[in-house]
Amino acid sequence: MMDVLLIQPDKLPGLRTTRSSIPISLLYLGAALRNRGYQPYIWDLSTQNLPAEGAERREKIESFFRKNFMGISTKVVGINCFTTMHFPLVREIAAIIKSIDENIKIIIGGAHPTFFGEDILKNCPEIDYISIGEGEETIIGVIDAITNNMGFSEIPALLYRDGKSVRTNNRIEYISDIESFEMPAWDLIDISLYRGNYETYYNPKKQNFSLTVPIITSRSCPFSCSFCSAHLIMGKKYRKKSAIQVVDEIQFIHERYGENYFAFLDDIINIDKSHVIDICKEIVKRNLNIQFSINQGLYISLVDEEMVDALYEAGLVTVSLPIEHGDENIRRNVLRKKLTNDKIYEVAGYIKKHNIFTIGLFIMGFPEETEDTLERTRKFIIDLSLDINGVSNLIPFPRTSIHDQAVRDGLFVVDTGEVWEGKAYFDPGNRNDFFIKPRNSDLNVLRRYRKIFDDMYFFTDRAKNLNQGKC
């Protein structure tokens, strides 16, 4: 049985003081590898309190690896690289591993390598393989090939080197039956390392909790919003687990680890109304006294009062609403999100009826943005009166139509040729930076409204009271 090591990089430079997040994607990979007969291990560097930079940082990472490599025998290491900002950390980790044992093969996956895999393999000899999008079948295929001394040409969704050339095996299809997945391998991590202070969280049941447990009930998004790259990672075919399977996992974690706060991380949990209702009914049926949030948000156009009532009864206490923009024309015609102002107000009413904590998700800085459209977003935020309003600067993700438009119209104000390297681009520390310039506005207008929206983040009195030290 081969040992396989899965690594989560440490925290991003702008987020080093935040809590570590459970690497749920690695728990899924770990379960798949174990089911195949391999022995997985997960090392999460975000729990190691590493220095941000310098020689001491490299020494500590190398010392950690050398010490822990003594306990396992691995030929393959997988590294999670979800965002562009993580890539410099991933590249550093790969180089250190190769310096310890140059024969170890390194495969990386996540959104960034999915978009920039060819650039990475052409320029980074320390990285051997790129998994494109959904990773279970790909990493198993690579390890099977290495174990059995086989070729890589038949492994789906893989980039690899063939001599001096980079080969791409396109994906034929995504995994259709995610109900066949084993439960994420929770035993591969020390859950206590992820505990923190959650006093600022809305907690109407007054429960004691020091952790939000990630739960994923479905994969993919069938829509094609102009700014979003989710479907490029997981495809457009909506796939779901059964309600019993989802609640089995919640109950297992609730009883085994004593956790009672869960966070649903589906791209869109409510594509299928019956899926949501069935999960809620199963939670109520088992009398699970839990609270949960829907972090990525409900698809507002598909929400009705029955759905909200069921979610509330099952334990929903906080929900994100991906409104995206306060100008309906931009929302519908630029973002391609078929969502009216009237529907937003309607759904907000259903949610407020139950006193559920609300987080509005907005984006500013589209090519069509003007001072007038920004002002409409400001007024919409005031009228809607959600608890928190997160207004993000537009990130033109590669292969989205917004990105292609910005390239075509010459709107970028950064060097896109350096994006594959992760050079300060999309860095959370660059909150005041914009990556494209709107056609009929200037960056000074964006910066002025950036400050206005920042001041509107904690909007209601209860949001301000919960976060007194952060206002």
30-41 in b/e form (b: 16+ CB < 10 A) is bbbbbebebebb
Alpha carbons 420 and 70: distance in angstroms, whole number: 33
The pLDDT value recorded for residue 471 is 44
322 CB-contact burial (10 Å; exposed 0-12 / middle 13-18 / buried 19+)? buried
Nearest alpha-carbon partner for 5 in 112, 98, 79, 92: 79
Nearest alpha-carbon partner for 90 in 79, 99, 75, 100: 79
Alpha carbons 92 and 256: distance in angstroms, whole number: 36
Alpha carbons 436 and 28: distance in angstroms, whole number: 36
User: For the CA atoms of 146, 150, 153, 158, what is the dihedral angle to 10 degrees?
Assistant: -10
The pLDDT value recorded for residue 11 is 83
User: For the CA atoms of 256, 261, 267, 269, what is the dihedral angle to 10 degrees?
Assistant: 90
371 close to 441: Cβ distance less than 8 angstroms: yes
Q: Is 452 helix (H, G, I), strand (E, B) or coil?
A: helix
344 close to 300: Cβ distance less than 8 angstroms: yes
Tokens of 404: 């292609």
Write the CA distances from 292 to 1, 186, 201, 273, 354, integer angstroms. 38, 19, 11, 18, 14
Alpha carbons 305 and 144: distance in angstroms, whole number: 49
Which residues pair with residue 186 across a beta bridge? none
H-state helical runs in 71-147? 87-100, 111-123, 136-147
Residue stretches of the chain with pLDDT short of 50: 424, 428, 471
Dump pLDDT digits (tens) for 361-420: 999 999 999 999 999 999 999 999 999 999 999 988 888 999 999 999 999 998 888 788
Backbone angles phi, psi at 429, to 5 degrees: -75, -15
Tokens of 225: 């919003």
Block residue for tokens 């970028």:
412
> How many CB atoms are located within 10 Å of the residue 193 CB?
14
Alpha carbons 448 and 389: distance in angstroms, whole number: 17
